[in-house]
Amino acid sequence: MRTFAAAALALTVLAACRTEEKAGATIETSPGGMAYARLYIPAAEDVAIQIAWPSNWAMRDDVNQAVPYIGTDLILAGGAAGFPAGEVVETFADLNAEGTMWVTVDHLHGQLIAPKENMEKAVGIAAAHLAQPTMVQAWFGRLQQGLATHMAEVSMQPAKRGYDALRWAVLGDTPLRRALSVDPPAMIAEATRAEAVEWHRQTVVRSGARIVVAGEIGADEAGTYVDALFAGLGQGDAVASPAPRGDFSPRRILLVAPEAKTSTLVFVGPLPPTRQGSEFEDVLLATALGGGDTSVLFDAVRTGLRASYGFGASLDAYARDLRVLVLSGEVETAKLAEAETVVRKAYAEFIEMPEMGDLAARKEPFRANGAETATLPGAASFSGLMALLDGQDPEMALTLPEIVGNVTEVTVMMRAAQAFPKPDGMIVLAVSPDAAALPGACVITSPDQAAGCP
């Protein structure tokens, strides 16, 4: 009896040692040959799958750039074999699952999150819509009209027209500009269901897809889900896309908008792509520069000049490799020219000697957010996918607090000095009811004229 008990105890200890898997990332290959990253998150209740399909549709002259916006929603909303159109959201909700898709100029993204016990069913639903979407004409028309209505509404906003003008200045009359601005608007009405079907056929394929699976899930189960999602897809062709380019040569432009109640002032300059690293330095610098009512720009324009309804700084991108720093805010028209001088001076002083305040306190929300990300399959899988797309280790998604911890006063100062645009090297654009509000600027009356501003 004593021998049996001792043997049982030994087996129990060995089994515990054998089955414990720690949080971490591994690169796997499914039985069907699909490479993917697996983020193991102990005790996670959900499983998440993120997919990014590369696309060059936004860079091509021979296609309609409005089609991906309609087609993305149509994949899920337009039905699939065995699933009526318009019901997928409720079908996922019945499983406490979430299935979503969205498109950027570089990729089509798909996300699936579900409780572990419901993931197999959720994968089946998603797989049917990916491989055999019905894309019924009625839903195509509904989504097409929705996009047209939305764009018509936002195009009436003076600030929207200003950002359209910036794209004309930076990108010129290129497919990328047309994709980002969804302009000319006629392209929406000219889009056809046949084009959406062809876009899907070229985009939702096996070739080039980047995949991350996250949760308390082993490689065997994860590989089964990946294969189920891709089993019905064609191999497809490798996507070749020229690197996007922008003209950031400094210019001063004023778009006249008689209907505007106030003036909008915007500074734009290039930043290195995230694949080169230092992303948290960028975020922390942007928050100190213009991230709230205690920021440098807010104080300079709103408090010092008393000329703004709020002035801030943000990070944006025309494409993954075409990032920008944006300084913007609404300004009283009579003080627009003075505001330009004040913003430029405040920005110049900031990048020369960044005023970060208590850096540890400024970092804390990002550290806490990173710690939470590591426990949530949805957030972790997305962060891991972004790392993959940047050619980095997807395990970064589980170590964000450490990455934030590596940011110091020295790395912040170096980043500001070496990577942020120079004060006199930025494009300045104002949208104003007064054509004389920014002396010396290139005055235009429609966004497309910005392409001709010297």
Digit-coded pLDDT (tens) for 106-125: 999 999 999 999 999 999 99
Q: What is the CATH number of domain 252-452?
A: 3.30.830.10
Contact 380, 398 (CB under 8 A): yes
Tell me the one-letter amino acid at 46: D
List pLDDT tens digits, range 325-356: 999 999 999 999 999 999 999 999 999 999 99
Distance CA 160, CA 25 (A): 41
Residue 308 pLDDT: 66
* Dist CA 155 CA 291 (whole Å): 27
pLDDT in tens, 250-272: 999 999 999 999 999 999 999 99
For the chain, what are the domain ranges? 20-230, 252-452
Cα separation, 128 vs 134, whole angstroms:
10
End-to-end CA distance of the chain: 93
What is the CATH architecture of 20-230? 2-Layer Sandwich (3.30)
- Residue 377 tokens read as 């399959």
pLDDT at 238: 84
Q: Are 88 and 77 in contact (CB under 8 A)?
A: yes
Quote the CA–CA distance of 433 and 162 in Å, as a whole number: 12
Residue 243 pLDDT greater than 50, yes or no = yes
CB of 439 closer than 8 Å to CB of 251: no
Q: Tell me, yes or no, if the two domains 20-230 and 252-452 fold the same way.
A: yes
Asked whether residue 1 carries a pLDDT value surpassing 60, the answer given is no
Tell me the percentage of the chain whose pLDDT exceeds 70: 95
| Listed residue (302, 141, 169, 322) closest to 242, CA to CA | 322
pLDDT exceeds 70 at position 15: no
User: What percentage of residues in the chain have a pLDDT greater than 90?
Assistant: 91
pLDDT reported for residue 403: 97
Provide mean pLDDT across the span 126-136.
97
Mean pLDDT, the chain, integer: 94
The arrangement of strands across the sheet holding 252-256 comes to 308-319, 322-331, 263-271, 427-432, 252-256, 442-444
The identity of residue 206, as a single letter, is R
Q: What is the phi/psi pair of residue 136, to 5°? A: -60, 145
Residue 111's H or E segment, with its range, is strand 107-115
